[in-house]
C-alpha cells in the first residue's frame, strides 16, 4: 500500500493515493477516506459498539492510531446523540510521551473535543521511567497494567459508558500470535469480546479491522500525521519481534494478519461454552475490579515499594 503517482482510482478518474496488493483496488483521496470510514462504521455497527445517548471516553495518546480513531469517530458520530471526551494518559516516558501529548492536544482542539490528561505520577506516585529504572522488569507490562487502570478509573470519574481504544488489525494479530507463542490459552480466551462486568467500563476497538498502514495514510490525508519517535522501551518486548515477523509474513503472504485474527474468532466460536467468564471482585487495596485479592496494579506497586 503506497501513494501511487500516475495510477488512477478504481472508482473515478482521480489520482490514486492508495493501492491494495491483496484486492488490487486503487483509491483516490476522497474514495480512500470514504472507504476507511465505511469500514470503521461497519465494525462499530455490526458489533453494537456505540449506542445513542452514550458518552464515550476515547483514549488519545497522540499517536497515529488514536488520532485516526478520534478523527473517524468524530465524523461518524457528528449527527448522532453521542458525546466524546478524550483521555490522554501520560505514562512518564522521557523524550517520547511529551511530543505525543502535544499532538493529542492539537487534534482535540482542532475537533473541539474536551481532553482530560492523567499521569502515572499523579495516579500511582511515579513515572514509568522511575518504576522500571535499574530493574530487571518488562516496561510494557507495567505500562499496560497501569494505563488500563488509569483509563478505567478516569472513564468512571467522567461517567463514560465505554472506553474506545485505537487497537488496530496489526495489534490484534500480534496479540493472538504472542499468546499462541507463549501457549497462554487463558490469556488468549480473555482476549475475546466479553459481557459488561461490574466496575469495568466496557472497552471498544472500532479500528480493530483496520491495518496499521491504512491508519497512517488516513491520518496523512487528513493532515493529521504527527511523526513521533518510537517508544524507547518498544524493542524490549516480545511484541516487537512478533510485529516484525508478522510484517515479514504479510509482505510474503498478503492477508495473513487478517486470517490470524479471523482464525482466532473461529476458534472462540467453536469453543463457546467451554470457557466461562470469571466473576470479578474488588481489589482490597484500591477497590478496582480484579479476580481476587489484589489487582495487578496494586500488586506491581507493592513490588516497586519493596524494591525501593
Ligand atoms: Fe508503553 Fe511499551 Fe507501548 Fe512504550 S512500547 S508506550 S512502554 S506499552
Q: The pTM is what? A: 0.91
Q: Is the CB of 234 under 6 A from ligand 1?
A: yes
pLDDT tens readout for residues 167-223: 999 999 999 999 899 888 777 777 666 656 778 999 999 999 999 999 999 999 999
pLDDT confidence of 145, banded at 50, 70, 90? Answer: very high
Q: Is 206 in the pocket of ligand 1 (CB under 6 A)?
A: no
**What ligand 1 atom has the least distance to the C-alpha of 147?**
1
For ligand 1, atom 5, the nearest C-alpha belongs to: 234
CA-nearest residue for atom 8, ligand 1, is: 140
Query: What domains appear along the chain, each with residue ranges and CATH number?
Result: 30-271 (3.40.50.620), 278-308 (no CATH)
pLDDT tens digits along 28-61: 999 999 999 999 999 999 999 999 999 999 999 9
Of the chain, the percentage scoring pLDDT greater than 70 comes to: 95
C-beta atoms surrounding 222 within 10 Å = 18
Q: Which of 147, 234, 300 to mutate to test the pocket of ligand 1 (most atoms within 8 A of CB)?
A: 234
Mean pLDDT score of the chain, rounded to an integer?
Answer: 91
All three cell numbers of 102: 502535544
Total length of the chain: 308
* pLDDT over 90 at 227, yes or no: no
Query: Which residue in 56, 118, 116 sits closest to 84, CA to CA?
Result: 56
Q: Do 227 and 63 form a contact (C-beta atoms < 8 A)?
A: no
Answer whether 139 contacts ligand 1 (Cβ < 6 A).
Answer: yes
Residue 104 parent element (H or E): helix 97-111
Q: Which atom of ligand 1 is nearest to the CA of 140?
A: 2
Please tell me the distance from the alpha carbon of residue 194 to that of residue 191, in angstroms, as a whole number.
8
Q: What share of the chain is helix, strand, coil (3-state, %, to 5)?
A: 50, 10, 40
Atom of ligand 1 nearest to the CA of 97: 6
Write the CB contacts of 87 (distance below 8 Å, at least 6 apart in sequence): 57, 58, 59, 60, 115, 116, 117, 118, 151, 154, 155, 158, 163
Q: Which of 91, 137, 238 to mutate to test the pocket of ligand 1 (most atoms within 8 A of CB)?
A: 91
* Mean per-residue pLDDT, 131-135: 89
Place 3 in a pLDDT band, splitting at 50, 70 and 90.
Answer: very low
Residue nearest to atom 7 of ligand 1 (CA): 140
**What pLDDT score was predicted for residue 192?**
66
Amino acid at each position: 500500500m503506497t501513494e501511487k503517482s500516475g495510477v488512477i482510482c478504481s472508482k473515478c478518474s482521480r489520482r490514486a493515493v492508495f493501492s491494495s496488493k491483496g484486492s488490487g483496488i486503487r483509491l483516490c483521496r476522497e474514495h480512500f477516506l470514504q472507504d476507511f470510514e465505511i469500514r470503521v462504521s461497519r465494525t462499530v455497527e455490526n458489533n453494537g459498539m456505540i449506542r445513542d445517548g452514550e458518552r464515550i471516553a476515547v483514549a488519545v495518546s497522540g499517536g497515529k492510531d488514536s488520532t485516526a480513531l478520534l478523527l473517524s469517530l468524530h465524523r461518524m458520530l457528528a449527527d448522532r446523540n453521542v458525546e466524546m471526551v478524550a483521555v490522554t494518559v501520560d505514562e512518564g516516558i522521557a523524550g517520547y510521551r511529551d511530543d505525543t501529548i502535544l499532538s493529542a492536544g492539537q487534534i482535540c482542539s482542532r475537533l473541539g473535543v474536551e481532553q482530560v490528561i492523567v499521569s502515572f505520577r499523579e495516579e500511582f506516585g511515579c513515572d514509568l521511567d522511575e518504576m522500571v529504572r535499574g530493574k530487571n522488569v518488562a516496561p510494557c507490562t507495567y505500562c499496560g497494567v497501569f494505563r488500563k487502570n488509569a483509563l478505567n478509573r478516569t472513564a468512571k470519574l467522567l461517567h463514560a459508558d465505554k472506553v474506545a481504544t485505537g487497537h488496530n488489525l496489526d495489534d490484534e494479530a500480534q496479540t493472538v500470535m504472542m499468546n499462541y507463542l507463549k501457549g497462554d490459552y487463558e490469556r488468549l480466551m480473555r482476549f475475546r469480546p466479553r459481557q459488561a462486568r461490574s466496575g469495568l467500563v466496557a472497552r471498544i476497538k472500532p479500528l480493530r479491522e483496520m491495518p496499521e498502514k491504512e491508519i497512517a495514510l488516513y491520518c496523512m490525508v487528513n493532515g493529521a500525521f504527527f511523526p513521533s519517535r518510537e517508544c524507547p522501551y518498544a524493542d524490549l518486548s516480545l511484541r516487537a519481534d512478533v510485529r516484525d515477523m508478522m510484517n515479514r509474513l504479510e509482505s510474503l503472504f498478503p492477508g495473513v494478519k487478517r486470517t490470524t485474527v479471523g482464525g482466532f474468532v473461529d476458534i472462540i466460536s467453536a469453543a463457546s461454552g467451554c470457557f466461562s467468564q470469571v466473576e470479578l471482585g474488588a481489589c482490597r487495596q484500591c477497590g478496582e475490579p480484579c479476580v481476587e485479592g489484589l489487582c495487578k496494579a496494586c500488586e506491581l506497586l507493592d513490588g516497586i515499594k519493596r524494591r525501593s
